[in-house]
Structure 1
């Protein structure tokens, strides 16, 4: 048994796929299969169930997986300590974000962090808020930033920043308003472009409107779109109106490219959350990121918690 075999085994277990593990490790699929077969021969047991479309761990595989994680983390720590001693902190981090944090929150922090630690690299995946938790629990990624919160005993959520949704309309759109506030009944006369199901933005819109006198089912919805940026461009080009995060359109509003309104007696507010697994054994590079992130946003996260 060698380190490469364990690395391949952990990658296959995380992705539940030989092909995805091969892509992550820049290996061919036959090479990945060969490493797993050699490892099983050495262990004299079957580590992976291959009968179904999804690959799963056998009981023996689960035991080895727990040990493999510790062994690989110890190896990473040894390399980290040596590089830290020589003044060259490096490593790789995997993050996942919903659309707003990915585009408007994370980049500013990463610029500062990378200036301090230029040898640390990142993989940043995008997915809807409701899919971030499974990515973290599977250990395909370590940290996430999302705009909605769902209870899970193994996930820790940290309040990050407050966000507000505003109604945006094409610049030529005229709506009766008082200092930027409109009556909720005005929404019935507009054409809307909405986010697809699964996004934290859509969840907030649906929950807020459904608790009002104008539920979302009464709106004239022209399209459901996955991308927040695509929705903004559609509104800018006159296809309809939408509710979007204020931080994503503030500059466009100031330039007069679109108009924005708030709804009287109705608040579209939420928090963005930074999250990670309570069961995760952090590598030194991940700890360094967590410490820096906590300090940057004044979150008070203690690594030993």
Structure 2
């Protein structure tokens, strides 16, 4: 058994296919199969089952997968630590963000960080708050920036950026000359909701419940899976929505959209730096966290 064989095994498990794994790691399929057979011979048990077109780990394979991931992560951490000691900040950083951070906050930070550390490769995953938090917990990402807090004890979060949400409407809307509207009036309008798991939508619902609004009366006209779609829906008169002013800053400046406050509704929120409590952070991740905080506080 060696780390290269474990790398191949992990790839097969994650790709659920010998052929896709071979493409990912640039080996022939027979070579991949040979390495897996050598691992199975070493442990004297079957590690993978081929179930038609899908390959799944056996119970023994599932145990090995967990340990293999930890060993491969430790290998990467070791390389990063030694390079950092030698003054060579290089390697790969896996980060994630929910819609607003990934679209409007992290790219700016990533560009500045890359200028400071050109030998670092950054891979960013975009998902809703729940998806990013789970990926951080499972070690698929080193850090995330999301728009809602979690109660998961394995996750630690820290306030990073303040955000303000408002009711956003087309400039041609009948409310375009107003600065605010009531919650009751809002309930009578066609509303564009965000998908379940969205930090934005969780904040909206929590704010309404705190204001005493019966959220069961909230009947969205349509639900959309990302902020870009919501903005396009508003521009094309599908409905109106409560979204981050960070996301619509350009459209507000151009006068295509108009933002209003909702009376008695607290729509302030934060974006949170999200980390796995029990996972060791790589030197590159630690540097990126310090960089984020310095850039935001500057």
| Residue matched to 2:67 | 66
The CA deviation string for residues 155-180 of structure 1, in whole angstroms up to 9 with x for no partner, is 111111121211011111122876x1
Checking the alignment, whether the CA contact within 8 Å between 2:167 and 2:260 is kept in structure 1 is yes
Identify the residue that residue 236 of structure 2 maps to in structure 1: 237
Moved more, 56-65 or 148-157: 56-65
Indicate conservation of the 8 Å contact 2:96/2:144, yes or no. yes
1:119 aligns with 2:119: yes
CA shift in 2, pair 1:112/1:25, >3 Å: same
Structure 2: state its 5+ residue gaps.
none
Indicate conservation of the 8 Å contact 1:18/1:32, yes or no. no
Q: In structure 1, what is the Cα distance between the partners aligned to 2:81 and 2:111?
A: 22
Whole-Å Cα distance in 1 between the matches of residues 277 and 249 of structure 2? 35
Judge which range, 50-59 or 4-13, deviates more: 50-59
Match in the other structure for 2:103: 103
Per-residue CA distance 1:222-252 (angstroms, 9 max, x = gap): 2111121111112112222111111111221
Q: Deviations over 1:178-197 (max 9, x none)?
A: 6x122222213322221122
Cα drift, residue 51 of structure 1: 7.6
Checking the alignment, whether the CA contact within 8 Å between 1:193 and 1:221 is kept in structure 2 is yes
- State the SS of the aligned residue for 1:122: strand
Q: Residue 153 in 1 paired to residue 141 in 2?
A: no
Indicate the SS of the match to 2:191.
Answer: strand
Distance 1:189 1:17, change over 3 A: same
Shift of 1:142: 1.6
Question: Partners in 1 of 2:288 and 2:133 — Cα distance?
Answer: 19
Larger deviation: 158-167 or 285-294? Answer: 285-294
Return the TM-score normalized by structure 1.
0.82
- The number of residue pairs the alignment matches comes to 295
Q: Secondary structure at the match of 1:221?
A: coil
Matches within 5 A, 1:210-225: 210-212=209-211, 214-219=213-218, 221-225=220-224
Unaligned 5+ runs, structure 1: 299-305
